[in-house]
Structure 1
Amino acid sequence: MSKRWLVLAGIGMAFSMTCTRLAVASDTPRQQLANETCSALKQAAAAIPGDGPMILPSYPGMDGDDAAARALQNVGFVYDNALAGIALGVCGAPGQARRIADAFLLAPASDATYKDGRLRNAYRSGAVQGNKVMLPGYWQKQGNYWSQDPYQTGTASGNVAWAALLMLTVYDNTHDSRYLDGAVAQLKWIAAHTANATAPAGYEGGVFGYDHKQIVQHWKSTEHNIDIYAAATWANRERADPAVARQAQIAGAFVGAMWDGKQHRFFVGTGADGKTIERTKSGLDEEIWPLLAFQPHPAAWRSVWAFVDANHRFGDGYGFKRQPDGMWTEGTSQVAAALQASGKPVPDSLWGAISAQRSAGGMLYATPQARIVTSFAIGPLSTYDDFFYYHDPHLGATAWAALAAKGWNAFVGRTIAQPVSAGKP
């Protein structure tokens, strides 16, 4: 505001009142989204009986007898549950967040096959019974056998890092050392099983497949290394540990090596050999998560927005892949959070695009389209790029929307410094 406005007190007061009205109007879509998504997450948690450890279903209400639907029924992905736990804490339900973290503490100890402390990519949703967190699966009538999904039984390094981020969040709230110990244990599993010093040095994808037949995945993901950097940095901040500090340095250096100053973007990582950089594909998350995870981050990284808008924009939202075929709700919320972290206003149209995905049950649809393509494969057994998102209510999409609307940075465990909102003078 210029000095002449300060001289004209009466006009200045009127101008201030106008700004206040604009601020309220501009904050309404965001506040409504925060209220709706927090309510949906709280209802989902309250639906799991008791107050003990639990896993929330990633796709609530999923039904159908086809193989694709049955593979997701009563399944809670660790990544989605970590996000939901963090969001529940921000939404004022820290006890429910702790229930999920408690399940993450129990799962490695109750694993029937592996005793090395790993978490799997998914577990059976619901209240944990008898201190045993069960793997998902279902009885296949045709052929009479127990069917499991090889991705769900595997362990991805990025998912493990997100579990650590939830446990660190709960530790900050409770100061119970079990959660800090649990986070560090997961980071050390990553270091022991996925570290690869071949240039560019970093952490590999993890393991994929059924028990005793798991395939080591040697590709290195920018997104996974972002997660590992954030969790290791946070854990080392809470309890200094040279090994964990070194882990943060390695993961951070990998992310930095993926920045391309000419295109002003991050590469997605490497191919299956762990050294050849994939320069064509782009995933929205790896482009913008560094703006949240690295605090502070190099100023040059903020130029990524030109690439993101040119390559990932879809209508009022954003899509997963380069030149997307639809809006990715989760990623659009990630954009809202990253815009805040880089000091940019979030347009009301973007909040509106996210809110429009609210299902009858309260959870947000993963995408408004029937199906969107990611241009990535689920695992090494895939014969084509078979990783899709569908028009189903999704826990992860709802949690990311709540985090963005509440202005919370899940990578560092604190509120995002708020820029001036779109539409305000």
Structure 2
Amino acid sequence: MARKRRFALWLLMATIISPMPGQASPAQDLAAGTCSALAARVDEIPGSAPVFLRSYDGASGQGPETEPALQNAAFTYDNALAAIALTACGRHEQALRIGEALLSAARLDRLGPAGRLRNAYRAGPQAERPIPPMGWWDPAQNRWLEDAYQVGTATGNVAWAALALLTLHEQTGERRFLDGATRLADWVAENTQDRQGPGGFTGGIHGFDDAPRPLTWKSTEHNTDLVALFGWLARTDAEGDWRAAARHARGFLDAMWDAGRDHFPTGTAPDGITVNHATSGLDAQLWPLLLRDSPDGWRAALAYAERAHGVEGGFDFNDDRDGLWVEGTAQAALVYRVLGQDGEADRLLAGIAGQVSPGGYLWATRELSISTGLAIGPDSVTDDFRYYRRPHLGATAWTALAALGWNPFTGQRVD
């Protein structure tokens, strides 16, 4: 019943924001609804303690996922997005609760004060220090289990957490958020910078604490995140040569653009040199267009995305076009807004407005499942990373950002 009441509030707020009944735009509806849904999820957790939000609801659209590895998983990337989106929503109290959890995780890991973040933590209030990564009890095996990806550290996830902390620093003026973001950026610079081939930064660390494995491939998406992060730090008084770090990440993007000519390849193979042309990634096309100094020539990547990823109502993750990826379609709506194509942005938002689950989150996909062409980890023997029709925190946060016209790479609304 609580979920039904929250969804009713979602619809009520979407109506209230309209200047006249029935005349709200898709963006206004989605802004009101997603902001209310995100804030309600934080407020469900009593008190004012730091929190992480569960990334997925169950397949019914309400309640937790039944898959043990996802049931209580709070992915770092999703929570960073939620903190940024809540800031854009003006829900500062709720944004700060997630930000405090990210900051605590950045200060201390179970391996020590390394500035490292795990890919997933356990959802709920975060009172334990260090904050433990995601895990679950398996009654059949009578032991505690963890997932090799979830306890690993992806470079892009660290970057997004740092961007969330920078957003909170800009909103509050509190130095500790800037220091936390700097700590995370230091970890990336010290552990993933590479000078082979196109340069740039590698993928991070995969696996358990007793046998961590470096991810030696490089991602266009990750390096885009880092251009934004390092460039933002360079505009502050944070200690470090962040302009040089930003140039190093930007050099990777330039090399990828040259390799793709009218689009961005997803990155490199594990040798860190060979360009990966095996699949295409939508975020690799879109996110560079959100950067502050994105050159006009890169706009051809959007036209490429329309050809290679376009499906009815929006965009697919990869170029097999087997379904609509809601999160990526929201990203495209924001890019259209940045480029002044408001009609296209509104068209996409109108389409995904029908993808709201009973619990208030947007579904990750319109179809039951879509492929990405990517593998979960180095031990995968197939492209086993898929999105399923589950209500998703990340899709909801990106939709809020698109509806509000808030660029997470700059911490500002689109003019």
How far did residue 210 of structure 1 move?
0.8
Distance 2:234 2:21 in 1: 40
Q: Which residue of 2 aligns with 1:38?
A: 35
The answer to whether structure 1 residue 315 and structure 2 residue 312 are counterparts is: yes
Match of 2:26 among 29, 38, 49: 29
Q: Which residue of 1 aligns with 2:123?
A: 125
Task: Give the letter aligned to residue 299 of structure 2.
Answer: R
Q: Which residue of 1 aligns with 2:51?
A: 54
How far did residue 114 of structure 1 move?
4.1
Match of 2:299 among 285, 302, 312: 302
1:56/1:81 contact within 8 Å kept: yes
The Cα RMSD (Å) is 1.9
| Structure 1 unmatched runs, 5+ | 1-22, 418-425
How far did residue 416 of structure 1 move?
1.0
Local SS of the residue matching 2:373: coil
Per-residue CA shift, 1:91-125, capped at 9, x if unaligned? 11112111111111211444222432201111111
> Structure 1 pair 406/159, CA: closer, same or farther in 2 (3 Å)?
same
| Structure 2 unmatched runs, 5+ | 1-19, 58-62
Local SS of the residue matching 1:76: strand
Local SS of the residue matching 2:230: helix
Match of 2:206 among 205, 208, 212: 208
2:82/2:394 contact within 8 Å kept: yes
Distance 1:261 1:196 in 2: 18
> Structure 1 pair 407/145, CA: closer, same or farther in 2 (3 Å)?
same
Distance 1:27 1:247 in 2: 43
> Structure 1 pair 274/261, CA: closer, same or farther in 2 (3 Å)?
closer
Q: Which residue of 2 aligns with 1:172?
A: 170
After superposing the two structures, state which structure 1 stretch, 48-57 or 153-162, moved more.
Answer: 48-57
How many percent identity over aligned positions? 44
2:106/2:183 contact within 8 Å kept: no
**Structure with greater Cα Rg:** 1
The answer to whether structure 1 residue 381 and structure 2 residue 379 are counterparts is: yes
Local SS of the residue matching 1:206: strand
How far did residue 260 of structure 1 move?
3.8
Q: Which residue of 2 aligns with 1:75?
A: 73
Per-residue CA shift, 1:401-424, capped at 9, x if unaligned? 00000000000111112xxxxxxx
Q: TM-score, normalised by structure 1?
A: 0.89
Distance 1:101 1:382 in 2: 33
Q: Which residue of 2 aligns with 1:395?
A: 393
Distance 1:26 1:151 in 2: 45
After superposing the two structures, state which structure 1 stretch, 283-292 or 295-304, moved more.
Answer: 295-304
How far did residue 261 of structure 1 move?
7.7
Distance 2:113 2:29 in 1: 45
Match of 1:368 among 366, 369, 372: 366
2:163/2:181 contact within 8 Å kept: yes
Q: TM-score, normalised by structure 2?
A: 0.91
> Structure 1 pair 268/83, CA: closer, same or farther in 2 (3 Å)?
same
Distance 2:159 2:116 in 1: 11
Distance 2:132 2:266 in 1: 32
1:313/1:323 contact within 8 Å kept: no
1:263/1:307 contact within 8 Å kept: no
Q: Which residue of 2 aligns with 1:410?
A: 408
Task: Give the letter aligned to residue 124 of structure 1.
Answer: R
Task: Give the letter aligned to residue 388 of structure 1.
Answer: R
Task: Give the letter aligned to residue 317 of structure 1.
Answer: G
Distance 1:103 1:259 in 2: 36
Query: 1:259-338 counterparts in 2 under 5 A?
Result: 259-260=257-258, 263-293=261-291, 295-338=292-335
Task: Give the letter aligned to residue 306 of structure 1.
Answer: A
Task: Give the letter aligned to residue 300 of structure 1.
Answer: G
Distance 1:24 1:282 in 2: 42
